[in-house]
Chains A and B, each alone.
Chain A
Amino acid sequence: MIDAGLRGELRKLIAAFVENMGAMTSEMEAALAAGRRGEADGAAAWDLLRMQTHRISGSGASFGFTEIAATARRIDLHAAATLESGAASAAAAPPWEDELVARDLPELRRLVDRAEPTDSPLYPAD
Chain B
Amino acid sequence: MPNAAELTRIACVEDEPDLRRICELTLTRLGGFEVATYADGPSALAGLAGFDPDLLLLDVMLPGLDGPAVLAALRARPEFAELPVAFMTAKAQPAEIARFRALGACDVIVKPFDPMALSDRVRGIWAKLEEP
Contact = CB atoms under 8 A, between A and B. Distances in A.
Nearest to B115: A62
Interface in B87-132: 90, 111-116
Interface residues of B, number: 16
Contacts of A5: 29
A40 interface: no
Specify the main secondary structure of chain A where it touches its partner: helix
Interface string A4-18: 011001100100110
B19 A58 contact: yes
A122 B114 CA distance: 9
Contacts of A61: 90, 111-112
A17 to B, nearest CB: 5
B18 A63 contact: yes
A2 B28 CA distance: 12
A54 B61 CA distance: 10
A17 B34 CA distance: 25
B48 to A, nearest CB: 23
Contact of A62 (B19, B29, B30, B61): B19
Contacts of A55: 16, 18
Contact of B22 (A20, A62, A69): A62
Contacts of B25: 6, 9-10, 13
B75 interface: no
Interface of B: 16, 18-19, 21-22, 25, 29-30, 61, 90, 111-116
Closest 4 CB pairs of A and B: A61-B112, A59-B18, A6-B29, A62-B112
